[in-house]
Structure 1
Amino acid sequence: MNGEQLSAVARAVIDANFYLTLGTVDETGAPWVSPVYFVTADYRAFYWASKADTRHSRNLATRPDLSIVIFDSRVAVYQGRAVYLTAIGEELTGPDLDAGIDVYNGPAAARGVSALERADVVAPAAYRLYRARAVQHYTLDPDGHDLRVPFQP
């Protein structure tokens, strides 16, 4: 597959999924993964809401480097379709929070998800809105043996 075909496959995997697997690391280097519901508008920034006191949220607050996998679990064995990302994460505040809420709410009705309001993701509420900005994108090359190739979204 050429680069544009790989990008199209990767975008299709992202578009078909509601959840990503978020990899974080705590201050001692202990890894942790969590599935989170996500939204993206551009395949470069990924948004999710989580409780501020969850392990992955606490990890992100101390170490913003993230790994992300979005995959199609319905394909046949050894026919994997997945997107792998390295990213920098952050809790959104100020104008970024308002813009993030707009992105997050974009597909809400079509997905059967309640729309967020600012009061849902600022103190004293338990939840916060987070964004991961992708640094690198990879997908599996179907012509290679477990070969991850970079792509441009």
Structure 2
Amino acid sequence: MWAMVPRLLGDNHYLVLATADRQGQPWATPVFFAARDEDRLVWVSAPDSRHSRNLTERPDVAITVFDSHAPIGGAEALYLEATAGPADDPVAALTLLNARLPAGKELTGDDLAPSGPLLAYCAEVRRHFVLIRGGDSRFDNVTDIRLRVTRTRWKARP
């Protein structure tokens, strides 16, 4: 099931970022993103946007990645639990994002604070889950469930 993780991260351009403020008021927003790998996702946002302000108060986030054009009954989804905040390496974040943007839409260092309106953010993923649709013959589930997945670590045999 782990193979779904890099595939969904590569196939989709937007994630839904769920944050909460200091009082626990939730907020969800779509953001264009790029994956550094299966454990690190980057995006840019205005630092004064609601979700960015929430991150300064509560860095724990939930993330969903899915194709909103999938036909009914054909959905696949990735659910992530992560900690997010300003990216340690904003230039690397821009490089990843620009690789996914169409020609002429690339971001530059001038787009980033302090001179620009955006800040690069990074989510460090702690847990990965995938959607298992109801009635999946591999599982005994009637309704949709989410299944935690981890990388398979192969050990060489002596």
What range is the shorter-chain TM-score in? 0.7 to 0.9
Aligned to 1:150: 148
Give the SS at the match of 1:52.
coil
| Residues 1:67 and 2:62 are matched in the alignment | yes
Superposed displacement of residue 122, structure 1: 1.6
Mark the runs of 5 or more structure 1 residues left unpaired by the alignment: 1-5
Superposed displacement of residue 8, structure 1: 2.0
TM-score, normalised to structure 1's length?
0.84
1:21-49 per-position Cα deviation (integer Å, ceiling 9, x unaligned): 00000011000000000011312111111
Runs of 4+ in structure 1 deviating by more than 3 angstroms, as ranges, are none
Mark the runs of 5 or more structure 2 residues left unpaired by the alignment: 152-158
Give the SS at the match of 1:138.
strand
Q: Distance in 1 between matches of 2:31 and 2:146?
A: 23
Between Structure 1 and Structure 2, the one with more helix by share is 1
Superposed displacement of residue 16, structure 1: 1.6
Superposed displacement of residue 113, structure 1: 6.2
RMSD of aligned alpha carbons: 1.8
Which residue, 60, 70, 86 being the options, matches 1:91?
86
Letter in 1 for 2:105: S
Q: Max radius of gyration: which structure? A: 2
Question: How many pairs align?
Answer: 144
| Residues 1:15 and 2:7 are matched in the alignment | no
Letter in 2 for 1:132: A
Q: Between the two structures, name the one with larger relative contact order (CA 8 Å, sep ≥ 6).
A: 1
Contact 2:15-2:65 within 8 A present in 1 as well: yes
